[in-house]
Structure 1
Amino acid sequence: MRKTGGDVDEFVAGVKPAKRQRDAVAMIELLREVTGREPELWGTIVGFGSCHYRSPSGTEGDAPIAAFAPRRESTTVYTLRTEAHGERLSKLGPHETGVSCLYIKDLEAVDADVLRDIVAEDYRRVLAGETGDVHYTVTD
């Protein structure tokens, strides 16, 4: 994955439906607050900061340190491993999970403080190199 250099505001202005656009604006503010970084487009993913990752299997690549994607059905929030957030997830509110994704259909229905804690914990872990068997190197 790599940065595509698109205009984040223009991208968000084109997000449909309107609820997903509203959630994208709120996610940008939340991730700005947590990371202290400005958003950049990685295709249709809005990312904050960048890192290089390498897994024990030899898979490697580049990715944002913190990111989300406004998809038609839900906002996808990317995490290191959702299983690491068990207690927090039980307090988050309505959502679904994948291995390293949170799917949120309505950002207003979840606890923003809990979501902020989840994102902040993953961001802190990447910066501190406390990510388990996958190694991350911050590149900006």
Structure 2
Amino acid sequence: MAVAKEVGQNLNGYKIVVTKSTVPVGTNERVEQVIKENAQAGMDFDVVSNPEFLREGAAIEDMRNTNRTVVGTKSARALNMMRELYKGFNAPFVECDLRSAEMIKYASNALLATKISFINEIGQLCERAGANVQVVAEGVG
């Protein structure tokens, strides 16, 4: 929370503080609290959870061809600014609260791990049955 404290101490007008990282559910609420505690009275800011879904070594490609944009916030002002920021991307825009955005990232990671485990199991079955796992995976979708 040291960075949130520093952000609060250095706010000088309306800002949107965006978290892109995978963080425990509730982290952005804590970030907001720490910034408030360290900012000058009445300083205006909003907190947004905007998790990224990038593969290692493919960040630029994944950013250009994203399959969704998740934005969690309680602020209509911040939501509108984030919508404007992402308007050039042709991907579904998921609007939600902070905790849901944080949880979406965890659920997405868990689903990916499940898919990998599943196809590994199917691969072993295909090997025993003499089937082509790539064809099976493509056929499954």
What TM-score results when the alignment is normalised by the length of structure 2? Answer: 0.27
More helix by share: 2
What TM-score results when the alignment is normalised by the length of structure 1? Answer: 0.27
More strand by share: 1
Q: Which has the larger radius of gyration?
A: 2
